[in-house]
Amino acid sequence: MRGTVLITGGAGFIGSHVAYELLRAGYRVRVLDSLVTQVHGETPDRPGYLHKDVEFMLGDVRNPEVLDEALSGVEAVYHFVALVGVGQSMYQIAEYTSVNNLGTAILLERLVKHSVKKLVVASSMSVYGEGLYLTPDGSEYGQAFRTPSQLKARDWEMATPEGLPLRPVATPESKQPSLASVYALSKYDQEQMCLIIGRAYGLPTVALRFFNAYGPFQSLSNPYTGVLAIFASRLMNKQRPIIFEDGQQLRDFVSVYDVAQACRLALELPEAQNLVFNVGSGNAITIAEVARKLAKVLGKKLEPEITGKYRVGDIRHCYPDISLAQRVLGYQPQVALETGMRDLAEWLDQQTAQDRFNEMRNELASRGLVV
């Protein structure tokens, strides 16, 4: 039996899959989670999908005494605690900053007092803002943005200030971050705080920038969660998936099983120390196409509704270059999108989804965050 690993936020979607992956690899796994209502429901309890061999602790990562107990005897830590939601972060600013930023700071203060040998922190594609683009002559253009007047004119695609069209390409870890939301800012703060403290105290640290993860155990009643879960909730309630802009936004959807593989490799390989890695499938697809594929898999003849509206903080195109993770970690995505969707559909057959999309949309619109 290998040593004990702590996963903060480990009762969540990705954390629970990483727990499975680590147990299979012979580790002991402890999970610390506060079971927030938005994800786990009004009367939260230890989730049934969490492996029976996982040691579960209920508690807040901002509580130093709870952290000391959770870190006792632990050799490695995955820090997955985060409130998740670009739109919601733009009005629940204090809460997002408290959980994501302050929570990480308190964890790090306690971490350096314990004999932890490795730290892996979950970051996000959101830190890039817009992905990498090329100009017509092939030059890289890393700070693309859309003006409010452009968005009001429903001119969705990216261009230089001079009006030259920009072409999206896979985004490498070297791209300069462009933080478009409080959530993105908090995730960048999390990853950089961990890397800075890791270097200062000689604690090997790895940051993983997850792209759009999907799979079983996603929260189906959280309207600020991953887009596939939101689409699934709509479809299961016989409602059309609702898509902002024109649906041609490019994203990368990665199976949670592949994400869990990357997380284990980041723990086990010394070469990963103090590096940042993209974790995705390596394939780009439009939002509209992924909605249609999911509807087909679920047996629903429902076309997505294209709203032509824009959410503040949303970006146009972003998908990853995963060559660094392939080269250094030996990471190779195993699950094709259609296969992963079928697996998701089998799990969905046993679930009840509460569709709260309109609640989320109305909340954002009332604050002027949907235009």
Whole-angstrom distance, CA of residue 69 vs CA of residue 112: 14
Q: In sequence order, what DSSP letters do the residues of 70-118 get, joined into one string?
A: HHTTEEEEEE------HHHHTT-HHHHIIIIIIHHHHHHHHHTTTT--E
Task: State which amino acid sits at residue 366.
Answer: S
Q: Which of 96, 183, 188, 224 is catalytic?
A: 183
The first and second tokens of residue 347, run together, are: 């799990």
Degrees, nearest 5: CA angle 184-178-84? 10
The first and second tokens of residue 344, run together, are: 């998701």
Whole-Å CA distances, 73 to 30, 64, 123, 266: 10, 16, 25, 20
Whole-angstrom distance, CA of residue 285 vs CA of residue 245: 15
Count how many Cα atoms sit within 13 Å of the Cα of residue 50 in the half-sphere of its side chain.
Answer: 22
* Active site (annotated) includes residue 20: no
Catalytic residues: 183
